[in-house]
Every structure is written in C-alpha cells, then in structure tokens.
Amino acid sequence: MAALLTVENLSIGFGTFDPVVQDVSFSLAPGETLALVGESGSGKTVTCRAVLRILPRNAHIHSGRVVLTCDGKSTDLTTLSERRMRDVRGNQISMIFQEPMRSLSPLHRIGNQVSEVLWLHRRMSESQARKTVLETFERVGFPDPDRAYRSYPFELSGGMRQRAMIAMAMVSKPDLLIADEPTTALDVTTQAQVLGLIKDLQQETGMGLILVTHDLGVVANMAEQVVVMHRGRVMESGAAAPLLKAPAHPYTRQLFEAAPAIPEVIPRPAPAAESDLILEMQAVSKTYTLRAGSAWRPDVEIHACRGVDLALPRGKTLAIVGESGSGKTTAARIALGAELPDPGGAVWFRPAHGDPIAVHDMTRAQRTAFQREAQMVFQDPYSSLSPRMRVLDALTEPLEIHRIGSAAERRDRAADMLRQVGLNADMLQRFPHAFSGGQRQRLSIARAMMLDPSLIVCDEPTSALDVSVQEQILQLLEDIRDRMNLSYLFISHDLAVVARIADEVAVMRQGLVVEQAPPEVLFHDPRHPYTKALIAAQPQPDIDRPINLKLVAAGAGSPETWPEAFRFSASVIPSLTEFEPGHKVRCHV
Amino acid sequence: MMLLRYAIYRFATMLLTLLVVSALIFLIINLPPGDYLSNQIAELRASGQDAGVAKAEFLRHEYALDRPLWEQYMIWVGFMPGPNGFSGLIHGNFGWSFEFDRPVAEIVGESLWLTVLVNLAAVLFVYLVALPLGVLAAARSKTWVDYTSAFVGYLGLATPNFLLALILFYYGHKYFNLPIGGLMDPRFEGQPMTSDKAWSILVHLIVPTFVIGTSGAAAMMQRLRANLLDELGKPYVETAIAKGMSPRRMLTKYPLRMAFNPFVADIGNLLPSMVSGSVLVSVVLGLQTIGPTLLTALKTQDQFLSGFVLMFVALLTLVGTMVSDVLLVLLDPRIRYEGRET
C-alpha cells in the first residue's frame, strides 16, 4: 500500500543559524498513527508544522520533500504554490493545537469558526454547513450541539474547547490529522477521553494521524509507528510495539527511564510520630462569592474547599492530588496563610521550637515569623523569577526583607544554596534567562531555602518541565528534604510524581477530600471511583496496559453519576470514613 | 435587551459624572480671587465713573454673584431659584457674558456646531487614515510599506500643527485655490443654511481637518500596527491559517477584530484631546469654533461663558467615552457576557 505521507531528508533552519531539524525522514500509511516523540527543543513541533508549511516567518525549509499521496495523486507540499497549499490546509490535512484556550478566537462563536472550514473548502451555504457541523459536534461528544454552536470559546471548559478543535479538524473529513500535543494542557481524565475520541474517529474515517507528544504513555496508547527525535535529529524510529518494549537507542532508553509511572511496588514509609504534626488543617472551608452582576439574580457561591482536615507530620510529605478546579491550590494557599479560611476552620503551624502559630489568625509579628518557616516553590519557573533581577539579588531578597545577616553573609549563603541545589556558585551574577527550565526550578528551590524554612509548599513544581528534568528535580527535592528535615505540602495533578515522593496522599474533587491513604494503599487498592478513574487515566508507557476508558468514564463524571455509596449532591455529602487504618474514603456506610 | 440595560446604566452614570464635573468646573473657575464684575467695579471706582458702578452692581445682584459660592453654583446649574426664579443650565439658560455683554447662548450659538463639525471631521479623518495604513503596516511589517508609513506618521507627529496649517494654506491656495482661514465665506456668516453655504463650509473644512487630525492619525496608526502585530503572533491565527484561509480573509476576520478594541476605546480620548488641541489651531487658522472664545473667557474671568464652554467640552468627552463603551460591549462578547453563568 502506498504511503499517505512521506517526509524525506527534511532540514529546517531559522535565519542563518544551524538547522533545528536535520535530515528527518519518516512515512505514514493511510489510517496509521505515527507518534513524533521528543522533549522541548527536539524539533518535533517544527517538523509537523513544516508539513502544513505554517512555520514562523524566519524559518526556512533548507532541503527535503514532503509528499502527500491522496486518491493516487502525489504532490510535493514543499514546492506547492501558496494558493494550492491553502486547499490542502484544513481540507486534506488538518491540525489540532496544544492550547485549546488560545487556539480559538475569543470573539467568534464556536459554530462560526468550525463551519468556516466547510465554507472555505466545500463552498457550502451557512445552513448546509450548520447541519454537518452539528452532526460532528454530536459525534465529538457535545451534550447539546445546538448550544455549543452558539457558544463563545470562553464559555466552555478546556476539554470542551479541545473537542471543538477536534470537530474543526474533523469536519472536512481530512486524509491526515496532525495533532500537536493535543492533550498536554488538559486534566488526565479529560486527556484519556480526548485520546479515546481521536482514536475512535480515526477508526471511523480511516485517516492518518501524526501525534506530536512528549509523553511516552500517550505514545503507548495511541501509536503504531514511533519516531523519537532529539535536537533536530531522528534518534530511533520503527513500529511501536518492538520499539517500546526494547528501545535500542540510548536516548530512547533514557527517556523511558525518566518517564513517570506509578511504580509496581511503593516502599511503605516509616510511620511518623502522630503527635509531632508540623501543620494541621482543621475543618477548612473556603467559599468564594461570584457576584451575579444584577440585582435580581442571586450571587453564585463557589465552594473551593469544603471541610478539609489534613495533618502533615514533621519531616514528611503530604500530597494533594486533583484536577483543575478541585480546590488543591486553594488548600495550599490557606495553609500558607495567603488566604483566610471561612470562619470555623483552623490552620495550626507548630515550629520545632516555640509556640504553635494559628495561621488563620496571625498578628503581624507572627506572620513575619511564620513566613521564615514556610516557603513556596511555584509551578512555572519561567514566570516566577523576575527577568530583571540577577540570581544573587533574587536569592538574597528574602534575607533583606527579614533583615538577616550582612551583605557578605547573604552572598555566602546564596552561593552555598546554589551548590546545595546542584548549580555553580559562579552563576550568581547571571540573569534567569541564561538558565534552562530545570535550572530555573533549581533556582526557585534555592530561593525558597534561603530563609532556612521547615515547611515548603510545592505547587506543581515539575509539571512545566521535560520528563528527564522532572526526574532530577524530584530527586533534588527528596535529597533536600532528608538532609534538612523539611516537610512538604505537595500539590500535583500527576499521580506518578506523587507516588514517588509522597508519604500520604489526599485526592480532592470539587473541594472535598474523597480519598486519603499512603501511596501504596491508594494506588494499589483504590476504593473511590474517582481515584480509580484518575489512576486508570494515567497513560502508562507500556503498550500492553492501555487506558481503561470505561473506568475513567465511571469516575470522572459529575459526582451525581457515581455509584450509590459514593454519590454526593449539593445537599447530601457523605462523610470521610476510615475504611481501614490509615485509609479514608468518602462514602455512605 | 441586555445591551439596552447597559446603555441606560451607562447614560445614568454619565449624567452623574457630568454633575460632579460641573461642580469641579465651577469651583476651579472661582478659585482665583474676585470675579469679572468686582474687578470691573474696582476699576470703575478707581477712575471715578460711578454711573458704570451702578450697572455693575445691578448685574452682580441680577446674577447672584453677591451670594455664597454654593448658592451661586446651585443657581448656575438651576437647582435653586435665582433672583428671577429657576433659570440655569438645565433650563437652557446658559448665562450672561460680561465681556461681550451678550447672552452666552448667542455668542456660542453657531460656533458650538462648527466646533462639533470640525472635530467630528477630524475624528473621521483619523479613523479613515489610520485604519487602512495601520493594517497595511502590520500586514507588511518590516517592508518598505511599513517603513514609509512609519516615516510619514512620525513626520505628522513631530510637525507643529500651526506650522502645518500655514504650509497647507499656502500651497492649498496656490495649487487648489483653497480658501485661507475661517470656516465659511464671510458673506454666509449669520445667514440661514443653504446649499451654497454648506459647500463653502465643506471647502473651508479641508485644511483644518487635515491639520487637527494628522498627529492623531499618526499615533493611532502606530498603535493599531503594534496591536495587530501582537495579535498576529497568537495561536488562533495559526489555527485560521491551518484551516486554509487566505491571508487577507484571515487578517480581517480574526486579528483585526481583536485589535479593534483599543481602536474603539480611543474614541473617548480622541474627542477631548482634539477639542483642546484645536484651540490653538483655531486661533491660528481663524476658525469660528469655540476655542478662541474659551481662551478669551478664561483670560478675563468671564465665568458664565468659560463655565459653559468647559461644560460643553466635558459633555463631548463623556459622550465619547459612553459611545466607545457601548460599542465595546457590542463588539466583544467577553465583556457582554461577563457575569453570565456558563
């Protein structure tokens, strides 16, 4: 069978610099899925965009051919005129982008933006197009296609927007779909459902699929062919099953080793002395009121946290896991005193020496003392460091605020901290832009450590990083914790990360803790349907363990669809019951 | 429905703002010690013309200038009866100009509408010039089109208006036989509107529009270009290209629509800056707009005249911002649906 798309010796460069993509070749049969795998900077995105010729203005295809074969006719896309290229885009080849939030125009209705493809390529009238689009909307899983047609993008959730993007790409029944990290910005359960949808659609229409991703778990679930890229070159390529089972190239093996997965065996942590709690949250709730904007409509109350009880023993790691909107970040902000809980809730911080501090009710002096003890590491190392401050200034600023030490002492401490996080002391005079993502996150950690705190809140510290770097940062966090007897409150949506670092895991959904247990219990004996869905949705880099979509669908839906024993509604909420020692589940008994 | 409610709400806040502005204007005008009449009385006394003093004293009483400041304000606006009953701004009585010794309404009369006309023409000019040039400069950024339009734009920004006016008058008259100065042929002044008069006004408008509008157009063009370039880098533009849209259609449907917001929001700022900016130009060009009158009134502490002119400029500003706010709501669904549950 003739290949649908053949890429031969493709080289692409920016301006006069060295090419960022060198000599890349692969081919794809009709109906097949090819995964382009690599870390950031590997050239995978540039490669897939070169197929549609939507490269940045200063990027040029130096050499190579991209041949598309449709209905027995072959065309070289690199030499096609711009006019004829437009007929290929969106018609024969369509594309899905990474960020559904920003890839749709906020000022035009979804229906308009999707129908446009048909107006352009099928010359359909508005009403004809509308009919086809509504059918497609139904197919991609919009509960109310009519309403979706009339909606603006900002009225839909991330998952729904990505479905709209998929509908836009599918509505013209293309021969080839290019999906550039289509699920990276989505929650795991949403990711599982969207991947399932793409797969189903592919089977129905027989289109080819190029899937660009950094996630080997996604590859194992989707691909028949794999191309591994690194620094613009193909490291290894071939059929998915043998490649994933026995990677031949050292770089591929390295990727596999770093790939996050929930381990088979999780060592049971030493039980902590129950009495020595560094942080305790008691019945913490947080309600935000959304003003309805008009006098005769009631204000909407959003329960970000509902009756959260958590305890963090000294020297341990407590992880809060949940998807966006679960209330995990609100809980962390309350723990840090950045936000006050609703009346009735209490947060106690117990320093190693001295009196406990009531974080929900601090005086100015107490707040200053508390801030020295509790620090935070943020998610995005690119935006959490000021680009105008040298590393030295960023690191010594906390000491200046708290008036600790002389300038020389501060400088020495900063240099020492850099060594502690695995960087070099001679980097103090640099600006953040001179560092890679992983190095920046090390800087963030160093900054958090400057005041010698005892509690660190880590808000998704690894989710903006490449997998191989992610691994190093987790290692560093573990080392520092053990070396300095730190306690972590660890916020994450990534179960594999949590399985590795946590001593206790609390799963949150809609502001409630639904299940809580040590990781080895939680991951191997989950009781709650939502926990089960989260675990099932986690893509494993193992071709024999595909995502169980049924399990995901059962738990990821609204709490009203859960089995009787776990169901909750606005008025009836089951209590968190100790199911066995150390394993709590929110269910009716 | 929703839009109507917003427009009404916006109108109500505008009236409220106008009220506050009127108080501020009145206060500021009265900040310097004395008023037109007390100055005049002092002057008359010094030169021994007692007959004049009696008239001035009469006017002082007639216009309630002998009362406390807050009462004067209430009477001026029309919330409180003056010596002749209720008769203030809100009743259509704009007061008496002491300097010109005529009612304010009579002095301002025609020049009010000419001011509106000149400035609307200038605003229209700004938009008509800035929109195509800005889009072109962004779409062909870093080519000779971009550089040329930027050069002309900066030239427009940097040339003093009155200089531009003189140059245009000279060459306009020499090559196109355009009239010099004024807003109409002197023989039409004070005459009822006829088609000849309208034509005369139109011909006289050309140079002033150009002079007042150039710098605004240059600034607006650069702003539109920058906005549009920002938008062109956004992912939704890529989506549109990947759909197979032609560059022109893509540009006008998506990024231009987004870049339009600040463009529309500028209407509010544009009006007042043009009115105040055109005062000097009006003096130089001899336009019968409200500008020169305002200048004289402020210099001589002619408080009712200057108060009214300032109120009028404030009204223009507020109407401008209201129009741009309502237009924005119409244009941008994100603003329209704010607070609507999803």
The per-residue pLDDT of chain A, averaged, comes to 88
- Per the structure, the complete domain to which residue B278 belongs is given by 106-336
pLDDT score recorded for residue B342: 36
> How many C-beta atoms lie closer than 10 Å to residue B148's C-beta?
13
Asked if A90 lies within 8 A of B242 by C-beta distance, the reply is: yes
List the A317-321 sheet strands across, edge first: A374-377, A455-459, A487-492, A317-321, A504-509, A512-517, A583-586, A576-580
CA distance B74 to chain A (A): 33
| β-strand pairing of A576-580 with A357-358 | unpaired
> How many C-beta atoms lie closer than 10 Å to residue A385's C-beta?
21
Q: Give the H or E element holding residue B14.
A: helix B2-29
Instruction: Name the closest residue on chain B to residue A289, using Cα atoms.
Output: B339
Distance, CA of A586 to CA of A567 (rounded, Å) = 9
**Mean pLDDT, rounded, for A48-61:** 88
**Chain B hits for A300, Cβ within 8 Å:** 341
> Can you give the CATH number for the domain in which B282 is found?
1.10.3720.10
Distance, CA of B121 to CA of B216 (rounded, Å) = 12
Asked if A89 lies within 8 A of B243 by C-beta distance, the reply is: yes
User: Among A446-455, A556-565, A579-588, B129-138, whose mean pLDDT is lowest?
Assistant: A556-565
Residue pLDDT, tens place only, B284-337: 777 777 777 887 888 877 888 888 888 888 888 888 888 888 888 888 888 776
**Chain B hits for A171, Cβ within 8 Å:** none
Distance, CA of A299 to CA of A316 (rounded, Å) = 40
Q: Tell me how far the alpha carbon of residue A554 is from its chain's centroid.
A: 22
Would residue B199 count as lying in a domain? yes
**Chain A hits for B331, Cβ within 8 Å:** 107
Q: Spell out the residues 6+ positions from residue A475 whose beta carbon is closer than 8 angstroms to its own.
A: none
Q: Is the pLDDT of residue B340 over 70?
A: no
Would residue B310 count as lying in a domain? yes
Distance, CA of A538 to CA of A187 (rounded, Å) = 10
Asked if A108 lies within 8 A of B254 by C-beta distance, the reply is: yes
Q: Tell me how far the alpha carbon of residue B143 is from its chain's centroid.
A: 36
Q: Tell me how far the alpha carbon of residue A586 is from its chain's centroid.
A: 26
Asked if B339 lies within 8 A of A293 by C-beta distance, the reply is: yes
| β-strand pairing of A346-349 with A504-509 | unpaired
pLDDT score recorded for residue B215: 82
Supply B32's token pair. 């310097």
Task: Kindly state the greatest CA–CA separation across chain B.
Answer: 88
**Chain A hits for B236, Cβ within 8 Å:** 102-106
pLDDT over 70 for what percent of chain B?
97
Count of domains in chain B?
1
Long-range CB contacts (within 8 A, 24+) of A295-300:
A300/B341
pLDDT score recorded for residue A56: 82
Grade residue A3 by pLDDT with cuts at 50, 70 and 90.
confident
Q: Is the pLDDT of residue B50 over 80?
A: no
Instruction: Name the closest residue on chain B to residue A99, using Cα atoms.
Output: B235
Which amino acid, A233? R
Residues pairing with A585 in the sheet:
A515, A577
Grade residue B339 by pLDDT with cuts at 50, 70 and 90.
very low
Q: Is the pLDDT of residue B63 over 50?
A: yes
**Chain B hits for A105, Cβ within 8 Å:** 236, 239-240, 254, 257-258
Q: Is the pLDDT of residue B159 over 70?
A: yes
Helix, strand counts (H, E) of chain A: 20, 22
Asked if A165 lies within 8 A of B238 by C-beta distance, the reply is: no
Write out the residues of chain A at the interface with chain B, using a CB-CB cutoff of 8 A.
52, 54, 86-91, 94-95, 97-99, 102-108, 116-117, 120-121, 152, 154-156, 165, 168, 290-294, 300
Would residue B85 count as lying in a domain? no
Burial class (CB in 10 A: 0-12, 13-18, 19+), B327: middle
Which structural domains are found in chain A, ordered by start?
1-92+175-259 (3.40.50.300), 102-173 (no CATH), 277-525 (3.40.50.300)
Count chain A–chain B contacts defined by CB atoms under 8 A. 86
Asked if A86 lies within 8 A of B245 by C-beta distance, the reply is: yes
Q: Is the pLDDT of residue A273 over 60?
A: no
CA distances from A505 to A332, A335, B215 (A): 14, 16, 63
Q: Is the pLDDT of residue A293 over 60?
A: no
| β-strand pairing of A317-321 with A504-509 | parallel
CA distance A160 to chain B (A): 12
**Mean pLDDT, rounded, for B16-22:** 93
Eight-class DSSP state of A425:
G
Asked if A108 lies within 8 A of B338 by C-beta distance, the reply is: no
Asked if B243 lies within 8 A of A168 by C-beta distance, the reply is: yes
Beta-sheet strands, E only, within A327-451 = 346-349, 357-358, 374-377
> How many C-beta atoms lie closer than 10 Å to residue A191's C-beta?
25
Would residue B101 count as lying in a domain? no
pLDDT over 70 for what percent of chain A?
97
CA distance B254 to chain A (A): 7
pLDDT score recorded for residue A476: 92
pLDDT over 90 for what percent of chain B?
6
Asked if A152 lies within 8 A of B246 by C-beta distance, the reply is: no
Q: For an interface test with A, which of B5, B239, B252 has the most A Cβ atoms less than 10 Å from its Cβ? A: B239
ipTM: 0.77
Residues pairing with A36 in the sheet:
A212, A227
Would residue B324 count as lying in a domain? yes
Distance, CA of A94 to CA of A173 (rounded, Å) = 9
Q: Is the pLDDT of residue A574 over 80?
A: yes
Residue pLDDT, tens place only, A159-218: 888 889 999 998 998 999 999 988 887 888 888 888 999 999 999 999 999 999 988 889
User: Which of residues B116 and A532 earns the better pLDDT score?
Assistant: A532
Residue pLDDT, tens place only, B168-183: 888 888 888 878 777 7
Q: Is the pLDDT of residue A272 over 60?
A: no
Q: Give the H or E element holding residue A229.
A: strand A225-230
Q: Is the pLDDT of residue A296 over 70?
A: no
Write out the residues of chain B at the interface with chain A, using a CB-CB cutoff of 8 A.
234-236, 238-246, 253-254, 257-258, 331-334, 337-342
Asked if A117 lies within 8 A of B246 by C-beta distance, the reply is: no
**Chain B hits for A152, Cβ within 8 Å:** 333-334, 337
* Backbone torsions φ then ψ of A557, nearest 5 degrees: -70, -170
**Mean pLDDT, rounded, for A545-571:** 81
**Chain B hits for A95, Cβ within 8 Å:** 239, 242
Instruction: Name the closest residue on chain A to residue B261, using Cα atoms.
Output: A107
Asked if B238 lies within 8 A of A54 by C-beta distance, the reply is: yes
Residue pLDDT, tens place only, A406-438: 999 999 999 999 998 888 888 899 898 888 888
Residue pLDDT, tens place only, A70-116: 888 889 999 999 899 999 999 999 999 888 778 999 889 999 999 99
**Mean pLDDT, rounded, for B21-26:** 92
Asked if B241 lies within 8 A of A107 by C-beta distance, the reply is: no
* Backbone torsions φ then ψ of A526, nearest 5 degrees: -70, 145
Asked if A102 lies within 8 A of B240 by C-beta distance, the reply is: no
Would residue B201 count as lying in a domain? yes
Asked if A105 lies within 8 A of B238 by C-beta distance, the reply is: no
Distance, CA of A458 to CA of A448 (rounded, Å) = 10
Given A94, A99, A121, which is nearest B242 (Cβ)?
A: A94
Closest CA to A92 of A30, A176, A161: A176
Asked if A86 lies within 8 A of B332 by C-beta distance, the reply is: no
Distance, CA of A490 to CA of A322 (rounded, Å) = 11
Residue pLDDT, tens place only, A195-208: 999 999 999 999 99
Distance, CA of A210 to CA of A30 (rounded, Å) = 11
Distance, CA of B74 to CA of A221 (rounded, Å) = 78
User: Among A204-218, A291-305, B122-136, whose mean pLDDT is lowest?
Assistant: A291-305
| β-strand pairing of A59-70 with A5-14 | antiparallel
SS3 state of residue A49 = helix
Distance, CA of A421 to CA of A436 (rounded, Å) = 14
Instruction: Name the closest residue on chain A to residue B233, using Cα atoms.
Output: A56
Grade residue A228 by pLDDT with cuts at 50, 70 and 90.
very high
Would residue B10 count as lying in a domain? no
pLDDT score recorded for residue B120: 85
pLDDT score recorded for residue A1: 58
Asked if A86 lies within 8 A of B246 by C-beta distance, the reply is: yes
Q: Is the pLDDT of residue A221 over 60?
A: yes
Asked if B244 lies within 8 A of A156 by C-beta distance, the reply is: no
Residues pairing with A63 in the sheet:
A11
Burial class (CB in 10 A: 0-12, 13-18, 19+), A257: exposed
Instruction: Name the closest residue on chain A to residue B242, using Cα atoms.
Output: A89
**Chain B hits for A94, Cβ within 8 Å:** 242-243
**Chain A hits for B262, Cβ within 8 Å:** none
* Backbone torsions φ then ψ of B160, nearest 5 degrees: -60, 140
Would residue B90 count as lying in a domain? no
Q: Give the H or E element holding residue B304.
A: helix B303-331
Which amino acid, B237? V
